[in-house]
């Protein structure tokens, strides 16, 4: 499963030829130093590539078009070292189609009090050059990120690094292809949506296949391949027989191993990165894919249950945006299941029938086989564990009939007070910000779903910036949320995003 391409970001410095050769030589020299230090810093997840100083309409237009055409370029970082008349940028910006970061910095950190003269000021005037540039980008209505501060400052580099992952999300969104092997669960509203509009807005391709086509691919997986994977499971996970016959248990586990291999081969052959199933539409599959889907999610596939292609695509998007991240804590589809309403201990127990990604786990992972209360198949094997502590974001993309809205709730994951030995599914437990009651009230008022795409590894800002680039409304629910302000946000959104 390919998760990370060898993307690069271009560094383009704005200037003009008014200041003479000597000044332009220094501008280029300073930019080269910044790019070199960025790449040495280890703070940025992707390489930065220095481009020639942009001084004329022709050069600017050419560089932006080269950036469009270069498949490895995931975005352009612009900084105006000197003044760069912004009309020169109009054609280039009009034709540019990739993520844009405005780095509002300057080469020197401190004013050189003893030596500063007019030449120095003319050479180091991003304080007004970048205002001229920001004006034209705003006037043209182009979505971009602005990062302010000295380029060596660790916080500034962190912000650039954070934006790079948003840029990857913008670039990769249009490569997400979701395979539906079941339609939406009958009568369910929130998992529905306009697939044509999703392709227009996000670039997602969402296709349906008869479930028995993928079930055929499962049936073709050899016994030898299946047994080899079962061995791997038995090495890696604890086996919780709970009184079941070991041979019978192993046969149930083998059914999931065969599904994992068959599904993965089918998805690879047809080039899909996310999949949607439904417990009520399993064709000739012996079990609801549980352990199999959990393992596929861990490998980087998106997943949505009961036909929920929006969640499947969002999980895949999060997997791609967080790929290769040091100390990543995980990303999964989750579902709000049941509450703890004890004062001071309020929270939402997150789970699903089976399909929770083990990337969010902490501690041992076990395999259990238990009957499903829904569906009509044999008892599926599933991975059982509890999730990590710490903050994360739960996202819900909903279709309001005429448009999409993305809800992003910052949540605090906690350990439950006691083990839940009779619960045969993986769980997380969180308290939504700003507090349980306000968070739930805001979520319901904003129309959020019961399925979410959850990650510990992105911030609300990163995902919200992705949504802004897609041109859709974002509703944030976090420590700043009050119901009065949320209602005003929803009202403004209903006017702005018709």
Interface residues toward Mn ion, by CB under 5 A:
305-306, 335
What is the closest distance, in whole angstroms, from the C-beta atom of residue 107 to Mn ion in the complex?
54
- Which of 99, 289 has the CB closer to Mn ion? 289
Q: Which residue of the chain is nearest Mn ion when measured via CB? A: 305
Q: In the numeric block, which tokens belong to residue 176?
A: 């997400």
What is the closest distance, in whole angstroms, from the C-beta atom of residue 355 to Mn ion in the complex?
9
What is the distance between the alpha carbons of residues 241 and 400, in angstroms, rounded to a whole number? 45
Going by the DSSP 8-state scheme, the letter that residue 482 receives in this structure is -
Residue with tokens 């690879």: 268
Q: In the numeric block, which tokens belong to residue 497?
A: 């995003």
What is the closest distance, in whole angstroms, from the C-beta atom of residue 312 to Mn ion in the complex?
12
What is the closest distance, in whole angstroms, from the C-beta atom of residue 287 to Mn ion in the complex?
17
Residue 468 C-alpha from the chain's centroid: 13
- Angle ∠(455,456,457) on CA atoms, nearest 5: 90
Q: If you count them, how many residues does the chain have?
A: 498
Q: In the numeric block, which tokens belong to residue 46?
A: 């992707």
- Which of 152, 185 has the CB closer to Mn ion? 185
- Which of 322, 427 has the CB closer to Mn ion? 427
What is the closest distance, in whole angstroms, from the C-beta atom of residue 310 to Mn ion in the complex?
13
Non-local CB neighbours of 302 within 8 Å, separated by 6+ positions: 176, 178, 273, 274, 275, 311, 312, 313, 314, 315, 316, 317, 319
What is the closest distance, in whole angstroms, from the C-beta atom of residue 450 to Mn ion in the complex?
7
What is the closest distance, in whole angstroms, from the C-beta atom of residue 428 to Mn ion in the complex?
15
- Which of 277, 474 has the CB closer to Mn ion? 277
What is the closest distance, in whole angstroms, from the C-beta atom of residue 478 to Mn ion in the complex?
25
- Angle ∠(376,190,357) on CA atoms, nearest 5: 60
Residue 479: count other Cβ atoms within 10 Å of its Cβ: 10
SS3 state at 150: coil
- Bridging pattern class, strands 8-14 and 47-50: parallel
- Which of 258, 370 has the CB closer to Mn ion? 370
SS3 state at 335: strand
| Contact indicator for 167, 67 with CB cutoff of 8 Å | no
Alpha-carbon torsion (267, 271, 276, 280), positive or negative: negative
- Which of 335, 399 has the CB closer to Mn ion? 335
- Which of 215, 305 has the CB closer to Mn ion? 305
- Which of 306, 473 has the CB closer to Mn ion? 306
Look at residues 285, 226, 282 and name the one whose alpha carbon lies nearest to residue 250: 226
Phi and psi torsions of 37, nearest 5°: -65, -40
Burial 416-433 (b: 16+ CB within 10 A, else e): eeeeeeebbbbbbbbbbb
Q: In the numeric block, which tokens belong to residue 306?
A: 């009961």
What is the closest distance, in whole angstroms, from the C-beta atom of residue 353 to Mn ion in the complex?
7
What is the distance between the alpha carbons of residues 169 and 7, in angstroms, rounded to a whole number? 12
What is the closest distance, in whole angstroms, from the C-beta atom of residue 494 to Mn ion in the complex?
28
Going by the DSSP 8-state scheme, the letter that residue 19 receives in this structure is G
What is the closest distance, in whole angstroms, from the C-beta atom of residue 361 to Mn ion in the complex?
20
């Amino acid at each position: 499963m390919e998760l990370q391409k060898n993307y690069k970001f271009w560094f383009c410095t704005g200037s003009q030829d008014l200041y003479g050769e000597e000044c332009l030589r220094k501008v280029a020299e300073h930019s080269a130093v910044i790019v070199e230090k960025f790449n040495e810093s280890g703070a940025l997840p992707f390489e930065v590539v220095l481009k020639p100083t942009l001084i004329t309409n022709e050069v600017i237009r050419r560089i932006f078009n080269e950036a469009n055409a270069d498949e490895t370029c995931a975005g352009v970082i612009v900084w105006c070292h000197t003044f760069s008349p912004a009309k020169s940028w109009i054609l280039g910006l009009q034709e540019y189609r990739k993520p844009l970061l405005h780095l509002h910095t300057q080469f020197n950190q401190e004013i050189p009090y003893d030596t500063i003269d007019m030449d120095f000021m003319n050479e180091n005037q991003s304080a007004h050059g970048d205002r001229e540039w920001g004006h034209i980008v705003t006037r043209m209505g182009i979505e971009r990120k602005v990062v302010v501060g000295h380029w060596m400052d660790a916080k500034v580099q962190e912000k650039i690094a954070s934006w790079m992952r948003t840029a990857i999300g913008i670039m990769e969104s249009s490569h997400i292809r979701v395979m539906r092997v079941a339609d939406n669960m009958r009568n369910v509203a929130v998992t529905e949506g306009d697939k044509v509009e999703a392709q227009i807005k996000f670039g997602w391709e969402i296709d349906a296949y008869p479930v028995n086509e993928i079930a055929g691919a499962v049936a073709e997986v050899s016994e030898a391949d299946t047994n080899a994977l079962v061995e791997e499971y038995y090495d890696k996970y604890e086996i919780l027989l709970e009184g079941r016959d070991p041979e019978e248990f192993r046969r149930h586990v083998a059914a999931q191993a065969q599904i994992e291999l068959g599904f993965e081969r089918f998805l690879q052959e047809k080039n899909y990165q996310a999949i949607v199933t439904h417990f009520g539409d399993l064709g000739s599959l012996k079990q609801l894919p549980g352990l199999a889907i959990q393992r596929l999610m861990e490998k980087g596939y998106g997943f949505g249950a009961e036909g929920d292609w929006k969640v499947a695509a969002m999980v895949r998007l999060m997997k791609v945006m967080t790929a290769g991240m040091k100390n990543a804590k995980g990303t999964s589809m989750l579902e709000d299941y049941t509450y703890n309403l004890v004062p001071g201990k309020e929270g939402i127990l997150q789970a699903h029938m089976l399909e929770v990604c083990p990337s969010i786990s902490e501690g041992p992972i076990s395999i259990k086989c238990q009957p499903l209360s829904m569906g009509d198949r044999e008892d599926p094997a599933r991975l059982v564990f509890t999730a990590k502590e710490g903050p994360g974001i739960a996202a819900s993309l909903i279709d309001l009939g005429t448009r999409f809205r993305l809800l992003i709730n910052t949540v605090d994951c906690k350990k439950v007070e006691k083990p839940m030995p009779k619960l045969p599914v993986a769980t997380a437990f969180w308290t939504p910000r700003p507090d349980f009651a306000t968070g739930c009230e805001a979520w319901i008022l904003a129309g959020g779903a019961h399925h979410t795409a959850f990650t510990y590894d992105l911030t609300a800002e990163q995902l919200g910036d992705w949504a802004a680039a897609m041109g859709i409304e974002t509703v944030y629910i976090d420590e700043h949320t009050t119901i009065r302000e949320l209602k005003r946000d929803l009202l403004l959104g209903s006017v702005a995003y018709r």
